[in-house]
Amino acid sequence: MSDLHPFFHNDFEDDTLVLNAPPQLKKPSLYRVILLNDDFTPMDFVIDILVNFFAMSEEQATAIMLQVHTRGMGICGTYSKDVAETKVYIVNSFAIENDHPLKCVMEEI
């Protein structure tokens, strides 16, 4: 058994062969965090969320807020699943605490 193919090895005393296969790795999925428009949440509140929870400048936050207002939705950022879930939870909780119907969702890219 010494002239086995390099992808096989025999570490056992019997005739068991083990295939040496490289691990099949793939990049983790990414998710977009999205704010959805409503007719009640003040624009300043949306800007505050974008500045405080997504580390945007006032200018960036204003541009995204206007997308939410005019297009019905705005992308806040792209994150790993855990980070996206956390951001969605924090934004939705903050909106509820402040009596605003603003909704934040995530979608896989």
Cite the beta strand spans of the chain per DSSP E. 8-9, 18-19, 30-36, 73-80, 103-108
Per residue in 33-78, pLDDT (tens digit) is 999 999 999 999 999 999 999 999 999 999 999 999 999 999 999 9
**May I ask the CATH architecture of the domain 25-108?**
2-Layer Sandwich (3.30)
Per residue in 20-39, pLDDT (tens digit) is 788 888 899 999 999 999 99
| pLDDT for residue 11 | 56
Is 88 a residue whose pLDDT tops 80?
Answer: yes
Average pLDDT over residues 9-26: 71
| pLDDT for residue 10 | 54
Edge to edge, the sheet with strand 73-80 lists 73-80, 30-36, 103-108
Query: Can you give the pTM of this predicted structure?
Result: 0.77
